[in-house]
Structure 1
Amino acid sequence: MAVTILLIEDSNSLAVLYKQFLKDEPYNIIHAETGAEAIRTLERTTPALVILDLQLPDMQGDEILSWMENKSLDIPVIVATAHGSVDIAVNMIQKGAKDFLEKPIRSSRLKTSVAIHLKQAKLETMLTNIKEKLDRDRFHDFIGASIPMQNIYKVIDSVASTTASVFIVGESGTGKEVCANAIHKESNRHDKPFIAINCGAIPKDLMESEIFGHTKGAFTGATLDRKGAASMADGGTLFLDELCEMELEMQKKLLRFLQTGTFSPLGSSKEHKVDVRIICATNRDPLQEVEQGRFREDLYYRVHVVPLNMPPLRDRDEDIITLAQHFLRLYAKQDNRKFESISQDAQRFLKRYRWPGNVRQLQNVIRSIVVLNDEKSLGVQHLPNEIKVKTSPAKSSGPTHSIELETPQLSIETSAYVTANTAAPMPTNSAQPIRPMWQIERDAIQQAIDHCDGNVLNAAMLLELSPSTIYRKKQAWEAEENAFE
Structure 2
Amino acid sequence: MKILIADDEKNMRWILEKNLKEDGFIPVQAEDGEEAFNKFLDEEPDIVILDYKMPKLDGMEVLKRIKKINEKVPVIMITAHGSTDAAVEAMKVGASDYISKPFDIKELKLSIAKALNLDKLNKEIDYLKETVSQSFDDKIIGNSKRLHEVFEVVDKVADTNATVLIIGESGTGKEGIAASIHKKSIRKDNPYIKVNCGAIPETLIESELFGYEKGAFTGAASRKLGRFDRAQGGTLFLDEIGELSLALQVKILRVLQEKEFERVGGTEVIKSNVRIIAATNRDLEKMAEKGEFREDLLYRLKVIPINMPALRERKEDIPLLADFFIDKYSSEINKGKIHIEKDVIELLMAYDFPGNIRELENLIERLVILSVDGVIKASMLPKEIVKGAYSNKKDIFVLPEDGVNLEEVEESLVRQALERSKGNQTHAAKLLGMSRHALIYRMDKYNLK
Q: What range is the shorter-chain TM-score in?
A: 0.5 to 0.7
Q: Out of 433, 443, 449, which is 1:484 matched to? A: 443
Cα distance change on mapping 1:329 and 1:293 into 2, 3 Å? same
What letter matches 1:307 in structure 2? Answer: P
What letter matches 1:253 in structure 2? Answer: K
In the TM superposition, what is the alpha-carbon distance from 1:148 to its structure 2 partner? 0.9
Q: How does 1:227-246 map to 2 (within 5 A)?
A: 227-246=225-244
In the TM superposition, what is the alpha-carbon distance from 1:420 to its structure 2 partner? 3.2
- Contact residue 174 and residue 310 of structure 1 kept, 8 A: yes
What letter matches 1:484 in structure 2? Answer: M
Cα distance change on mapping 1:266 and 1:338 into 2, 3 Å? same
Question: Does 1:435 pair with 2:405?
Answer: yes
Q: Out of 358, 361, 370, which is 1:360 matched to? A: 358
What letter matches 2:443 in structure 1? Answer: F
Question: Does 1:162 pair with 2:121?
Answer: no
Structure 2 partner of 1:175 = 173
Question: Does 1:294 pair with 2:264?
Answer: no
In the TM superposition, what is the alpha-carbon distance from 1:481 to its structure 2 partner? 7.6
- Contact residue 160 and residue 183 of structure 1 kept, 8 A: yes
Q: How does 1:120-139 map to 2 (within 5 A)?
A: none
Question: Does 1:420 pair with 2:379?
Answer: no
Q: State the structure with more CA Rg.
A: 2
Cα shift readout 1:362-406 (whole Å, capped 9, x = no counterpart): 11111122234443111112211211113787xxxxxxxxxxxxx
Q: Secondary structure at the match of 1:308?
A: strand
In the TM superposition, what is the alpha-carbon distance from 1:140 to its structure 2 partner? 4.8
Root-mean-square deviation (Å): 3.4
In the TM superposition, what is the alpha-carbon distance from 1:221 to its structure 2 partner? 2.2
Determine the C-alpha separation between the residues in 1 that align with 2:430 and 2:371: 37
Cα distance change on mapping 1:378 and 1:248 into 2, 3 Å? same
- Contact residue 197 and residue 239 of structure 2 kept, 8 A: yes
Q: How does 1:274-289 map to 2 (within 5 A)?
A: 274-289=272-287
What letter matches 2:375 in structure 1? Answer: S
In the TM superposition, what is the alpha-carbon distance from 1:329 to its structure 2 partner? 1.4
Question: Does 1:200 pair with 2:198?
Answer: yes
Cα distance change on mapping 1:213 and 1:328 into 2, 3 Å? same
Q: Out of 338, 349, 352, which is 1:351 matched to? A: 349
Q: How does 1:1-16 map to 2 (within 5 A)?
A: none
Q: Out of 326, 329, 332, which is 2:330 matched to? A: 332
Q: How does 1:396-475 map to 2 (within 5 A)?
A: 412=393, 415-417=395-397, 420=399, 434-436=404-406, 439=409
Q: Secondary structure at the match of 1:220?
A: coil
Cα distance change on mapping 1:164 and 1:388 into 2, 3 Å? same
TM-score scaled by length of structure 2: 0.60
- Contact residue 148 and residue 316 of structure 1 kept, 8 A: yes
What letter matches 2:354 in structure 1? Answer: P
What letter matches 1:296 in structure 2? Answer: R
Structure 2 partner of 1:187 = 185
Structure 2 partner of 1:342 = 340
Cα distance change on mapping 1:293 and 1:476 into 2, 3 Å? same
Q: Secondary structure at the match of 1:324?
A: helix
Structure 2 partner of 1:220 = 218
Structure 1 partner of 2:105 = none
Q: How does 1:245-260 map to 2 (within 5 A)?
A: 245-260=243-258
Q: Secondary structure at the match of 2:212?
A: coil
Cα distance change on mapping 1:442 and 1:473 into 2, 3 Å? farther
Determine the C-alpha separation between the residues in 2 that align with 1:315 and 1:304: 23
Q: Secondary structure at the match of 2:277?
A: strand
Determine the C-alpha separation between the residues in 1 that align with 2:373 and 2:389: 29
Structure 1 partner of 2:305 = 307
Cα distance change on mapping 1:219 and 1:392 into 2, 3 Å? same
In the TM superposition, what is the alpha-carbon distance from 1:163 to its structure 2 partner? 1.3
- Contact residue 339 and residue 378 of structure 1 kept, 8 A: no
Question: Does 1:272 pair with 2:270?
Answer: yes
TM-score scaled by length of structure 1: 0.56
Structure 1 partner of 2:150 = 152
Q: Secondary structure at the match of 1:192?
A: coil
Cα distance change on mapping 1:368 and 1:223 into 2, 3 Å? farther
Q: Out of 259, 262, 280, which is 1:261 matched to? A: 259
Determine the C-alpha separation between the residues in 2 that align with 1:298 and 1:367: 43
Determine the C-alpha separation between the residues in 2 that align with 1:382 and 1:474: 20
Unpaired runs of 5+ in structure 2? Answer: 1-135, 421-427, 445-449
Q: Kindly indicate whether structure 1 or structure 2 has the higher relative contact order, using CA contacts under 8 Å at least 6 residues apart.
A: 1
- Contact residue 343 and residue 377 of structure 1 kept, 8 A: yes
- Contact residue 337 and residue 375 of structure 1 kept, 8 A: no
Cα shift readout 1:134-161 (whole Å, capped 9, x = no counterpart): xxxx995111111111111111001101
Cα distance change on mapping 1:370 and 1:481 into 2, 3 Å? closer
Determine the C-alpha separation between the residues in 1 that align with 2:209 and 2:144: 36
- Contact residue 350 and residue 390 of structure 2 kept, 8 A: no
Determine the C-alpha separation between the residues in 2 that align with 1:200 and 1:332: 32
In the TM superposition, what is the alpha-carbon distance from 1:305 to its structure 2 partner? 0.6
Question: Does 1:143 pair with 2:122?
Answer: no
Cα distance change on mapping 1:212 and 1:286 into 2, 3 Å? same
What letter matches 1:164 in structure 2? Answer: A
Q: Secondary structure at the match of 2:162?
A: coil
Q: Secondary structure at the match of 2:224?
A: coil
Determine the C-alpha separation between the residues in 1 that align with 2:233 and 2:196: 20
Cα shift readout 1:169-195 (whole Å, capped 9, x = no counterpart): 000001111110000011111111111
Q: Secondary structure at the match of 2:388?
A: strand
- Contact residue 137 and residue 175 of structure 2 kept, 8 A: no
Determine the C-alpha separation between the residues in 2 that align with 1:392 and 1:344: 16
Q: Secondary structure at the match of 1:142?
A: coil
